[in-house]
Every structure is written in C-alpha cells, then in structure tokens.
Amino acid sequence: MALLYMSRQTNGDDWRDLLTAELPDLEFRTHPETGDPAGIDAALVWNYPLEELKDYPNLKLVASLGAGVDHVMSVRHLVPEGVTLTRLIDPAMTAQMTEWCLMAMLNHLRNWEGYRALRNERRYVELDVPIPWDVTVGILGLGEMGGDSARVMAAMGYQVRGWSRSAKQLDGVTCFHGHDQLETFLAPCDVVICLLPLTPDTHDVLNARSFGWMKRGAFVINAGRGHHIVEEDLIAAIDSGHLAGATLDVQRMEPMGDDHPFWYHPKIMTFPHAAAFTIPRTCAPQIAENYRRMRTGEPLLNVVDLDRGY
C-alpha cells in the first residue's frame, strides 16, 4: 500500500526523505503520479484539489499538512465514509504562532509605526506606552495556538481573556465560551486576537456587530482564517475611528488581488499567511507514527472531529 502526497507547498521530496527514513518500507507517491488507485491507503493534503480522493477505494487516512482542516472540511463530501482525518499539532508551529501574535500586538502597543514616522522626520520624541497589566488582550480560540498565546501573554503580565466553544479553565486567563458570552468577552479588550478554526459557526464571527461590541480604540489581529472577518466591516470600523487598526496574517482571498483595499490601508498591516509554518522536519514524525498506527489498527493521533469541523 502507498501514501499519496497532494500539496503544492513543496514538491514532496522533503516529505519523502523524512518519512522513508522513519518507515523504510513506505511507498511514497506524489500526485498526479498516483499509480494504481487501489494501492493508496493514506493521503497527505494541503490546499490541493481533492476530487480524486473518492476514487481511492482503500483510503483510510487523510492527513492535513496544517493545523487547520477547513480546506478538507469544505469538500468533506469528497472524503469517503470511514476515512479518518487528522491534523498537525506541532510545538514548533505553536511557538511560531505565539511569537507572531506577540510581534503583532507589541508593534501596536509600543507604537512601532509612530516611532518610524518620527524617526523619518529626525524627531527624537517619546510616545506614551501602556503598562502590560493595564492592557486587556482577548483571544478567540483557546486551543493549541490560542491556549499557548494566552499562557505566554498572561505570564508577561497582560490581562488575558479567552473565548472558546466549550467552558475552559486556564491559569491567569479569564475564560468565556459560546456566542452568548461573546459580547461580554469582547467589551473590555484593547487587543483582540483571532486564533479560531474556520467552521460554519465561526465564519464571519468578526463583523460590524462584534466590532461594535469592542471598545473604541481596540486593535484586531487575525491569524485564524480570512473568512473569520467581514473585511468591509473591518475597514468601516477602522475608518470611522472606532477601531485603531488591524494586523492580518490571513485574508478571505489569498493571495490578495492587486486592488484589495488592505494593500493601501494605512492602519491595516497584512502578512502572506506566514504566522506559523508546517515544518516537514518537526512534523514528519507524527505523520509516520500515524501511518504506522493506521496499519496496526491502533488509535491515531490528532484526529479531527468531523461533526465539530476542527
């Protein structure tokens, strides 16, 4: 049986080398060189057309080469019944995400752009900065990514609150859950960071109404998915002076079109979906372990709940 690589992120040679080092008898195929479809029992997928999955009669495992699985869930009907979907949970990726969220937040709080503007005018002037414990940070999503950012930011002295689907307890973090508590959660936040998975329930969660619940001067950071934010509503909330600005790693259309207003907006900074990376070196061991477990019938790691969608 064979494992099929379906991603344009790399040509697959890195994954082939790493996985065959862990599983010497592995047959690794790279789409579109699929060979006999009946010989495929697992697929490694990332933002790739998945129509052919339904043609692999012995497929048992689809492994997302990312923490998110919305790219698979949006074509769930193409994944045959009984196939297990897994995702990545990688401390290296989580650490990169926490670092990126800190960078985005600190650039705002410590007024990097303001100092750059002053420096460009050769003005040696101090700007006001807040004390960490006077800043309230709200994190949407308290899973692998959001939970880590929350813990690190709480340890740095910020007032941290988090929002999840189910009730949670995290040391040093004031926790909220469910849509009924979203307004209360958002109201005092100086900085709002979105680290949610994209599901039908979280689609458009940051919209005119929820921006309205935020206090005047709040700053928005999104590293979840572009479709968490209604982009026109964000621009309107910033242009009206209600929100201070935003830093967005993800957008509804990636890459953004040449005429996307985010390119030109002085209070919106964008990144090209680069907050945290899938690093083959750190992620290959869990893929290899799951492939081994699948073959021996042991429970798999990092299995996605298809009903919850994440």
Query: Which spans of this chain sit near ligand OXD (rule: CB under 6 A)?
Result: 66-68, 276, 278
CB neighbour burial string for 14-32, b if at least 16 within 10 angstroms, e if fewer: ebbebbbeebeebebbbbe
195 binds, among ligand OXD, ligand NDP, none (CB under 5 to 8 A by kind): ligand NDP
If the CB atoms of residues 18 and 104 are measured against ligand NDP, the closer one turns out to be 104
Judge whether 16 counts as a catalytic residue: no
- Asked whether position 146 contacts ligand NDP by CB under 6 A, the answer is yes
Binding-site string for ligand NDP from residue 106 to residue 145, where x marks contact by CB under 6 A and - marks none: -----------------------------------xxxxx
278 binds, among ligand OXD, ligand NDP, none (CB under 5 to 8 A by kind): ligand OXD
Strand partners, 4: 29, 43
- Asked whether position 195 contacts ligand NDP by CB under 6 A, the answer is yes
Helices and strands counted in the chain (H then E): 9, 12
- Asked whether position 79 contacts ligand NDP by CB under 6 A, the answer is no
If the CB atoms of residues 16 and 161 are measured against ligand NDP, the closer one turns out to be 161
Q: Which of 193, 229, 276, 283 binds ligand NDP (CB under 6 A)?
A: 276
Decide if 92 contacts 285 (C-beta within 8 A): no
Backbone angles phi, psi at 222, to 5 degrees: -130, 120
If the CB atoms of residues 144 and 190 are measured against ligand NDP, the closer one turns out to be 144
Judge whether 273 counts as a catalytic residue: yes
Q: How far is the CB of 255 from ligand OXD (least distance, A)?
A: 14
Q: Identity (one letter) of the amino acid at 140?
A: L
Of the candidates 23, 21, 20, 71, which has an alpha carbon nearest to the alpha carbon of residue 45?
71
Distance between CA atoms of residues 210 and 202, nearest Å: 12
Decide if 229 contacts 250 (C-beta within 8 A): no
Q: Which of 225, 227, 231, 286 binds ligand NDP (CB under 6 A)?
A: 225
Q: Walk across the sheet containing 40-46 and list its strands.
A: 27-30, 2-7, 40-46, 61-64, 84-86
196 binds, among ligand NDP, ligand OXD, none (CB under 5 to 8 A by kind): ligand NDP
Q: Which residues are catalytic?
A: 225, 273
